[in-house]
Homo-oligomer: A and B are copies of this chain.
Amino acid sequence: MSEPASEFSPGHAPVPGPARAASHLRIVLVGTQHPGNIGAAARAMKTMGLRRLVLVAPERWPDEAAYRRSAGAEDVLGDAPVLGTLAEAVADCQWVLGCTARSRRVALEELSPRVAASRAWATANRAGEVALVFGRERTGLDNDELQLCHAAVHIPSDPAFSSLNLAAAVQVLAYELRLAVLEGAAVAPLPSTLQGEAELRTDPPATHAQMEGLFGQLDAALVDLDFHKGRASASAMRKLRRLYLRAALSEREVRLLRGILADTQRMARLAGQNGS
């Protein structure tokens, strides 16, 4: 999103595309112990187009370490409200997701990050407020806090070493949210700007006829080189066809290869004229 001022200012039209859904997504950090993690979480959010951070009872706040680790996301930190309880932080939310480090005994529906992000996007896209809640570094969310959540999301860490850093967990969820937002925006009928489209247009894929022209010249060049040395030529050509077809050559690449083959044939003629 990255239009901090204008998007949220009164008097502006609704923001189209990715920014609109992202503006309804908030990240809530509960009882964070290390302020450096808050800064790193803000940076992770901003790289993924998320700007709404809410702090619930951080142990040390404000703190210089948070600003240092945010590395350019100071605005996210500066805009973050600091509240006393999780209940206040999610009071206006339609959907609250609690991030749990491991499968919990709490009987909440447990979602993968991908499914959670997709549902979060769907809610945010129809202007529903969504919160993703992350607990304390050591102890996570307590049971009362989990009771405020509609579902739990669990990052599938290795059970033998599940100690995901708090900011790393925020990064993974923010990444999945960004994919969901981008995919959602792609599905919506926006003017498309296909990635790589321009590049493809300037270097179009070779046509069938151009590929056959290349193979014909390659076949002739191998004969000129006496590559087959009496063996049948079909097997080598079959392998070469497969290789170059698999590479999905562009027109320009076909021209480059044919230029090399032309020089090869010229050289073979010269060797033949003079050598034999």
Interface residues of A (CB under 8 A from B): 1-2, 40, 43-44, 46-49, 71-73, 103, 107, 110, 113-114, 155-165, 167-168, 171-172, 175, 178-179, 182, 195-196, 199, 222, 224-227, 236, 239-240, 243-244, 246-249, 252-253, 256, 259-260, 263-264, 267-268, 270-271, 273-275
- Beyond known contacts A168-B171, A270-B275: 5 more, CB 8 A cutoff: A43-B163, A43-B168, A48-B157, A175-B175, A243-B253
Q: Chain B residues near A274 (CB, 8 Å)?
A: 270-271, 274-275
Most chain B CB within a 10 A radius of its CB, from A199, A226, A264: A264
Closest to A269 in B: B271
Residue A259 contacts which of B163, B182, B227, B268 (CB distance < 8 angstroms)? B227
CB pair B168–A44 under 8 Å, yes or no, is yes
Nearest CB in chain B: distance from A226 CB, A: 7
Majority-rule SS of A interface residues:
helix
The answer to whether A227 and B168 touch (CB under 8 A), given A271-B270, A274-B274, is no
Question: Closest residue to A155 on the B side, CB-wise?
Answer: B175
Rounded to whole Å, the gap between the CB of A44 and the closest CB of chain B is 6
Nearest chain B CB to A221 CB, angstrom units: 8
Contact A165–B44 (Cβ < 8 Å): yes
B contact residues around A182 at 8 Å (CB): 156
Contact A73 B161 (CB under 8 A): yes
For A239, the chain B residues whose CB sits under 8 A away are 252-253, 256
Q: Are B47 and A163 in contact (CB under 8 A)?
A: yes
Contact flag A158-B107 (CB < 8 Å), given A72-B163, A165-B71, A260-B225: no
CA distance A256 to B244 in the complex (A): 13
Residues on B with C-beta less than 8 A from A252 are 239
Docked Cα-Cα span, A189 to B107, in Å, equals: 29
Chain B residues contacting A253 (CB-CB under 8 Å) are 239, 243
Cβ–Cβ contact A227 & B263, under 8 A: yes
Which among B43, B113, B171 is the interface contact of A171 at CB below 8 angstroms? B171
The distance from the CB of A92 to the nearest CB of chain B, in whole angstroms, is 22
